[in-house]
């Protein structure tokens, strides 16, 4: 079933489906066949379900139906909609992610800037950071671990993305009524972008996030938690050998701060099984935005 979450702005829809923005607005006004979701800035956002409906209508128009006839057919029901993932058009964000990665691995920083700016002009911030940059991040991590790219390549990509995400992060407003959050990479961890993307998701929801990054001693983490009176703490672990140290940190903080809500994630935690998985399961936030939303809902009730 297609997602009903707003992901695409009108420019993205125009690019994906080959429909002029003015035509789309006219269809919306006259036939009310879809109702775009408005973001906090009041801009239209379209969901995967909207994309599927529009693609079906455009296909009928291309076969000779008028838009009015196509809408009439649609409203009679018995319509099978293809999900965006099942079409040749799939998701342009996948192509953009690959293009940005190729540019960065070729040290073409200007081209990467242009492609990322294009992504932000087409898609929502969450779509770009979670789907495009998040996908890119996972690929870079796998390539580095498999010795397909050098440490220099990995550092260049990381530096570029950290700067971009950081610029967005610090420009977002904070809701003072929400609890404070502290986020830090697990002990001995150096890969911080996954955690940074997650904290950007939190900041987009209005949380004040004190992001400490990597290389912070455990005693300093405790100091910050006390000083800012944080209610939530998030940490990440991407390398298997660091799982135990990160798990130990979680249990230690739970003893020191019994009311602290602790979440964790990262590639290493996605692989755990058995007793350790059962032990940490309530703390693992998941891999997708939907997982993150669900974890927050269940822990902030």
Q: Do residues 204 and 240 share a domain?
A: yes
Residues 221 and 282 in one domain: yes
pLDDT at 192: 85
Provide the number of structural domains found in the chain.
Answer: 3
Asked whether the predicted pLDDT for residue 145 surpasses 70, the reply is: yes
Query: Given a cut of 70, is residue 1 above it in pLDDT?
Result: no
Residue 88 pLDDT grade (very low, low, confident, very high; cuts 50, 70, 90): very low
What is the spatial distance between Cα 119 and Cα 245, in angstroms, rounded to a whole number?
A: 37
What is the reported pLDDT for 86?
Answer: 45
> Is residue 5 domain-resident?
no
Q: Which of 36, 53, 86 is the last residue of a domain?
A: 86
Closest CA to 267 of 298, 248, 246: 246
| Domain boundary, last residue among 137, 170, 203 | 170
pLDDT recorded at residue 178: 92
pLDDT at 129 over 90: no
- Find the CATH number of the domain harbouring 96: 1.10.1240.10
What is the model's pLDDT at position 133? 86
Task: Say if 253 falls within a structural domain.
Answer: yes
Average pLDDT over residues 37-61: 83
Tens of pLDDT, residue by residue over 159-190, are 898 888 888 888 888 898 999 999 999 999 98
What's the CATH code of the domain at 61?
A: 1.10.1660.10
Q: What is the mean pLDDT of residues 53-74?
A: 83
Q: Note whether residue 132 is domain-resident.
A: yes
- Cβ neighbours of residue 230 closer than 8 Å, sequence gap 6 or more: 179, 180, 181, 182, 210, 224, 260
Largest CA distance in the chain: 70
Q: What is the pLDDT of residues 101-124, one digit of tens each?
A: 999 999 999 999 999 988 887 777
- Averaged pLDDT, 261-280: 85
**Is the same domain home to 278 and 200?**
yes
CA distances from 134 to 102, 188, 200, 213 (A): 15, 22, 12, 17
Q: Give the confidence band of 37 by pLDDT, cuts at 50, 70, 90.
A: confident
Whether 1 is covered by a domain: the verdict is no
Q: Residue 51 has what pLDDT?
A: 86
- Residue 133's nearest CA partner among 193, 90, 185 is 193
Above pLDDT 70, what percent of the chain?
94
* Residues 190 and 291 reside in one and the same domain: yes
Confidence of residue 79 (pLDDT cuts 50, 70, 90): low
In a domain, 2, yes or no: no
Whether residues 264 and 212 fall in one domain: yes
Residue 62 domain-assigned? yes
The answer to whether residues 228 and 290 belong to one domain is yes
Judgement on whether residues 206 and 245 belong to the same structural domain of the protein: yes
Q: Are 264 and 235 in contact (CB under 8 A)?
A: yes
Query: 113 and 73: one domain?
Result: no
Range of the domain at 151: 92-170
Average predicted confidence (pLDDT) for the chain:
85
CA angle (91, 92, 95) in 5-degree steps: 110
Residues 158 and 211 in one domain: no
67 burial class (0-12, 13-18, 19+ CB within 10 angstroms)? middle
Name the helix (H) or strand (E) containing 66: none
pLDDT at position 89, please? Answer: 41
- Distance CA(60)–CA(71), nearest Å, equals 9
65 and 112 both lie in a single domain? no
CATH number, domain with residue 259: 3.40.50.280
pTM for this prediction: 0.68
Are residues 248 and 141 part of one domain?
A: no
Residue pair 233/183 in contact by the 8 Å Cβ criterion: yes
Q: Does 200 reside within a domain?
A: yes
Last residue of a domain, one of 54, 86, 118: 86
175 within a domain of the structure (yes/no): no
Residue 168 phi, psi (nearest 5): -70, -45
Assess whether 69 and 102 both reside in one domain: no
């Amino acid at each position: 079933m297609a997602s009903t979450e707003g992901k695409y702005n009108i420019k993205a829809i125009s690019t994906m489906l080959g429909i002029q923005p003015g035509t789309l607005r006219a269809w919306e006004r006259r036939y009310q066949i879809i109702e775009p979701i408005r973001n906090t800035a009041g801009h239209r956002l379209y969901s995967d379900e909207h994309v599927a409906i529009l693609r079906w209508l455009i296909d009928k128009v291309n076969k000779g139906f008028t838009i009015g006839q196509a809408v009439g057919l649609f409203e009679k029901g018995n319509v099978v909609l293809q999900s965006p993932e099942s079409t040749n058009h799939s998701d342009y964000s996948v192509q953009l992610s690959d293009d940005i990665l190729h540019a960065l691995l070729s040290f073409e920083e200007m081209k990467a800037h242009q492609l990322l700016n294009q992504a932000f002009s087409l898609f929502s911030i969450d779509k770009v950071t979670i789907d495009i940059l998040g996908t890119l991040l996972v690929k870079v991590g796998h390539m580095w671990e498999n010795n397909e790219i050098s440490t220099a390549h990995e550092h260049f990509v990381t530096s570029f993305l950290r700067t971009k995400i950081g610029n967005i992060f610090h420009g977002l407003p904070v809701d003072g009524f929400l609890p404070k959050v502290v986020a830090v990479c697990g002990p001995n961890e150096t890969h911080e972008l996954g955690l940074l993307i997650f904290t950007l998701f939190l900041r987009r929801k209005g949380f004040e996030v004190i992001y400490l990054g990597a290389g912070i001693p455990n005693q300093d983490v405790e100091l910050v938690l006390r000083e800012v009176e944080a209610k939530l703490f998030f940490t990440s672990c991407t390398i298997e050998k660091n799982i135990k140290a990160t798990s130990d940190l979680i249990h230690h903080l739970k003893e020191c701060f019994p009311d602290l809500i602790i979440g964790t994630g990262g590639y290493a935690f996605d692989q755990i099984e058995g007793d350790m998985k059962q032990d940490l399961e309530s703390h693992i936030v998941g891999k997708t935005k939907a997982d993150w939303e669900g974890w927050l809902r269940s822990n902030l009730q």
